[in-house]
Amino acid sequence: MAAMKCGRCGSEKIMTDLRIRDRYDAGVGQDLEVEVQANPDALIFKQAHREALRATVCGECGNVGLSVENPQALWKIYIQEENS
């Protein structure tokens, strides 16, 4: 894979696939996630699908890019909702 460059400053100090942690009072953490609901109007069975967010951070200027681990899975659910 070719070296990535920061879209803002052009640096190659790019840290990829970093986890984004949310921390509770007890010190317990959880990865931030993106959620798509296949059936948002349902009371119970919304068929939510979540994928963890991952960050790409520039070690020079702090520019941050976000992506999800498994976008195809989210897309599948998203399309189901549109077609229902």
Interface residues toward Zn ion, by CB under 5 A: 6, 8-9, 11, 58, 60-61, 63
Least separation in angstroms between residue 10's CB and Zn ion is 7
Angle at 11 between CA 18 and CA 31, to 5 degrees: 10
In angstroms, what is the minimal distance from the CB of 11 to Zn ion? 5
Task: Name the β-bridge partners of 49.
Answer: 36
Q: Pick the closer one to Zn ion by CB: 39 or 56.
A: 56
Nearer to Zn ion, 10 or 40 (CB): 10
- State which H helix or E strand residue 53 sits in: strand 48-58
